[in-house]
Structure 1
Amino acid sequence: MAAVAPHALACAEDPSLTSRWLRHGGTWFAGVDVLGNNADGGLAGSGPLRCAARAEAERIAGPLPLHRGQVSVTYPGYPGRDPGESEARHHYRRRRDAAHLDGLLPVGESRRRMIREPHGYILGLPLTACPAEKAPLVVWEGSHELMRTAMTKALAGRPPASWANVDVTEAYHAARKACFERCARVEVSVSPGQAILLHRLTLHGVAPWRAQSPPDDRRAILYFRPELRGGVRDWLMQP
């Protein structure tokens, strides 16, 4: 990671990328698929990405080619509010850490949720120190099982080939509410050299920035979420 980190952090300073990915009043660089790594995670002659967390993920999900990594960077004041952002969405981001389940994309003008990105796992590699007061990752412990149950019921009776086109919005919202009520909210503090490995069905988000920091401070994590070869069926049924 030492060889990759400078290239990843530079993405958040590239005007051609910040114009698209800097959000929430300039307090979050979303950086989806901005890192120019290869399918092994290598970049700039660094060699393939090897770590215990990836090895454990592949023990469960099998070896998967890595997509271009997401460079997620938050800044003091996160979450700010973008022009045009509704009060409800901003309130949810502040009060509920923008909790979400990866892979469910808003489709169409009505933004109905469908399972369009069946990830095998979520691997996070900190590029800077990520203490509790600097917008840490938040997870809901055990939420993956509640989400699996909810999605299984929502897809029941439909052929697996159609699952990516099933509207799961209501099931997802109900399951998310159940996670808030029944699962422990856990803030994750990490430092470079450590790794975060989440089950793909884990409800997660980002807490507000609470530290008293200079404006140029930042918290950065590189994420990989490779997709399963078996699509939504594997996303739902694999351990």
Structure 2
Amino acid sequence: MDRGWARIDPDPAIHAWAKAAHAAALDVLATSPDPWRCGGTWFVGVDALPNAPDGSLNGTAFPWQAVPLPQQSLHKAQLSVIRPGYPQPSTEESSAAFAFRRDHDAAHLDGLLPIGPEKVRMVKEPHAWILGLPLNDTEAAPLTVWEGSHTIFRTALTEALAPHPPQTWGDIDITSAYQTARRQIFATCRRLTLPARPGEATLLHRLTLHGVAPWQDSDIAPPEGRMIAYLRPLLPDVETWLTAP
């Protein structure tokens, strides 16, 4: 993926899985005790969908034949649901964090977790790839990406981690390198919105900067809001995460 992302064309197998996942998602929203974030406009839904390790969900097979990925064991998919008005201020975010979410799509690199009281960034979840599968028909609050950002992150994080033994890379503070690279990406990479519909999918390189666009007044979605399932299987170590294609 030279651009850091790829659109996967509509396929009946993807659509069948999305239909099954949509039904399961409605059950999750009706029964989950997890709170909505961002002033009640975002259901984070980590590990919320009940898919099996082979990706199948309530008897519907995962569409491996329709995606350019090797079949592997999967975690339970994230169910990301956005409601009208996203994002809103909330007690779990500082005013600066809310402004970044509103003005820069909360742009981030998956797998970098805030660690300790200082919330320094470390690579604790080295994902292999990120696959988004829309579950209902809307263009509201689309996924956003910064095209080519994966190459900038690879260079910056390689330089930051190179002085350390690879087996320790998951315990190294990369906050400064990450933030500096992100500023460079904002200044030099094209921001794209990537709306998609059930039956399609969006594949991201694991090092691609991405986020979610704010809900616009003109956006229209079903009553449950905008739903996307995300899958991010893990790699064995941070070295593979950084050096593999």
Instruction: Identify which of 16, 20, 25 aligns with 1:3.
Output: 20
TM-score (normalizing by structure 1): 0.90
Structure 1 unmatched ranges of 5 or more: none
Structure 2 unmatched ranges of 5 or more: 1-16
| 1:182 and 2:188 matched | yes
| Conserved 8 A contact 1:9-1:71 | no
What's the counterpart of residue 225 of structure 2? 218
CA-atom RMSD in angstroms:
1.6
CA gap of 1:192–1:154, structure 2 versus 1, over 3 A, is: same
SS in 2 for 1:139: strand
Alignment of 1:150-165 (within 5 A): 150-165=156-171
Alignment of 1:48-59 (within 5 A): 48-53=62-67, 56-58=68-70
SS in 2 for 1:109: coil
Alignment of 1:124-163 (within 5 A): 124-131=132-139, 134-163=140-169
Alignment coverage as a number of residue pairs: 227
Percent sequence identity over aligned pairs: 48
1:194 & 1:205 partners in 2: Cα distance? 19
Instruction: Identify which of 190, 197, 205 aligns with 1:191.
Output: 197
What's the counterpart of residue 4 of structure 2? none
In the TM superposition, what is the alpha-carbon distance from 1:228 to its structure 2 partner? 1.1
Letter in 1 for 2:76: R
| 1:93 and 2:91 matched | no
| 1:64 and 2:80 matched | no
In the TM superposition, what is the alpha-carbon distance from 1:217 to its structure 2 partner? 5.2
SS in 2 for 1:4: helix
2:121 & 2:52 partners in 1: Cα distance? 30
TM-score (normalizing by structure 2): 0.88
In the TM superposition, what is the alpha-carbon distance from 1:81 to its structure 2 partner? 1.2
| 1:236 and 2:242 matched | yes
| 1:44 and 2:58 matched | yes
In the TM superposition, what is the alpha-carbon distance from 1:50 to its structure 2 partner? 2.4
In the TM superposition, what is the alpha-carbon distance from 1:82 to its structure 2 partner? 0.9
